[in-house]
Amino acid sequence: MNQKIKKAVFAAILCVASNMAAQQVDDQQNVDGDSTKNQESENATIAVSNIKIDGQLMALETQEDGKFRLRDLEEAWRYDSLWLKELHSNAELFSDMLLEIQSAPEQEPAVLLDLPTDTLKARLARMDEKTPFNISYNPSLESVIKSFLTRRRDLMQRMMTASQFYFPLFEQELDNQDIPLEIKYLAIVESALNPKARSRVGAKGLWQFMYSTGKMYGLDVSSYVDERHDPIMATKAASKYLSRLYDIFGDWDLALAAYNSGPGNVNKAIRRSGGYENYWNIRPFLPRETAGYLPAFLATMYIFEYAEEHGLQYKRAERAYFETDTVHVKNLITFDQISKLVDIGKEELEMLNPAYKLNIIPKVEGKNYALRLPVSKIGKFVSNEEEIYAYAKKELDSMEKPLPSMIKAQDQIRYRVKSGDYLGKIAERYGVGVSQIKRWNGLRSNNLRVGQRLTIFPRKPYIAKKSSNNSSSKSNGKVADGSKIHTVRSGDSLWTISKKYPGVSIENLREWNGISGNNLKPGTKLKLCDCSS
């Protein structure tokens, strides 16, 4: 078909589509009722027509001015919407999985389940032939499998649903690093497939990285970004870490144990066992959580392999996973602005971009930050980048309250103890434990002296909030009346104190005295200047 004929056919189709527009709008309003009230004005001027051009189905919207635009298929959009709800509903399962790993199901009464031990042994033997993991029958593993199939049956079914979104992402990265694809089941044990999961000790994300380990394998953490929550970045880091652990131990079972508790604990268990290097032989000498870790991993692998035999019901995805793509962001922009300009829900943005802590994508020299969007939205963003960034800049420049500064969490800081400091307050400020500060600094008690220097490895950045009075008060080094210390009296608050001293704000008082809340104890000495050094 030559170009002239093609254009003529195309114009004719558009003409027919326009004639059908009014009837389509009426039909849609009759079906949807109240749900379309918010779009009445748009439906009055825009009609949707699915047509084929050279064999390709295209969804066109024709408008009053004759222009048209591409849009996502309604059925495809519906699938993605349903998947969002599924993934959100799984967020609370992290604690359920953690409890299962930490419990000891083999000590509980036997559960009634149609799974004879001989059948289980035969199935585990078949699994062992297909994987580099050492899968063999033992009573502990049987107890965990039966516990998962009874007490945690709903959790397993929901993991099978969510896995259809995450597993294709995992498998690609695992394959890139030549890691066994079965490792994908580890993310279920680690986080119950919740990219926002956080453990009681501060491990984060699908793969539960501690801050220091994440930094070691290239995961960025700042006031805006925590790449431990990013599914692809974190999977790359986990693959590298697991590969390194396998190089050390030469055994995938021990590599997984080391991933959970650290190589040091595995080496101690090997020594305490008398030199055994088989997981099941050193298991009694591992930390309790790690003792339940590999059985939970193998049980999850078994259940996914034999889901049909056990009648597990789960929602099958119409598509394997969201059809998404990424674009490198060139200027600072917020999720609110993206949601407004690209017509995408904020919840969906948060689900697809979990690494951005404040729902802001920053612009940092030397760093590339990506925005993940459904493929139906990527074209709209890329085609209008200049206008989008210009709008975002204009809106941000006009904001009454500026966005927080980009502050990176450092690998190590030296903290100078101030008057009123105590270990608990310092630990909370940097997201670490009191015992960790004591261990890092060789402290035998909780006593501190003013001026003492402490080495701290923070898990979170401390963000000193800005205020309009900051620069003037810092430059003077003291307040207008020459005072440097205020002694807190009964009835005092940060607000009343700030009003007594011109040039001092509430944020100044918090920053200079390391205060995070509003509670003040009578008798506490508060510094009224930036005089810590």
* Of 447, 470, 268, 491, nearest in space to 257 by CA: 268
* Of 168, 165, 163, 173, nearest in space to 243 by CA: 173
Tokens in use for 366?
């030397």
Sign of the C-alpha dihedral, residues 502, 505, 511, 514? Answer: positive
* Of 186, 190, 202, 206, nearest in space to 304 by CA: 186
Supply angle C-alpha 411, 435, 245, rounded to 5: 55
Inter-residue contact 224 to 358 (CB < 8 Å): yes
Q: Where are the beta strands (DSSP E) in 354-412?
A: 360-361, 370-374
Strands 360-361 and 333-334: antiparallel
* Of 403, 393, 388, nearest in space to 358 by CA: 403
Helix orientation angle between 231-249 and 252-261, rounded to the nearest 10 degrees: 120
190 counts as catalytic: yes
Inter-residue contact 324 to 372 (CB < 8 Å): yes
| Dist CA 228 CA 191 (whole Å) | 12
Among the listed residues 100, 173, 190, 507, the single catalytic one is 190
| Dist CA 210 CA 496 (whole Å) | 41
Query: Furthest-apart CA pair in the chain: how many Å?
Result: 89
| Dist CA 403 CA 357 (whole Å) | 13
Inter-residue contact 245 to 237 (CB < 8 Å): no
| Dist CA 525 CA 486 (whole Å) | 6
Calculate Rg over the CA atoms of the chain.
29
| Dist CA 92 CA 273 (whole Å) | 37
Inter-residue contact 206 to 163 (CB < 8 Å): no
**DSSP bridge pairs for 376:** none
**DSSP bridge pairs for 454:** 415
**CB neighbours of residue 176 within 10 Å:** 11
Give CA 288 to chain center in angstroms: 26
**DSSP bridge pairs for 62:** 47, 68
**CB neighbours of residue 157 within 10 Å:** 15
**DSSP bridge pairs for 408:** 222
Give CA 46 to chain center in angstroms: 38
**DSSP bridge pairs for 525:** 487
Residues with catalytic function: 190
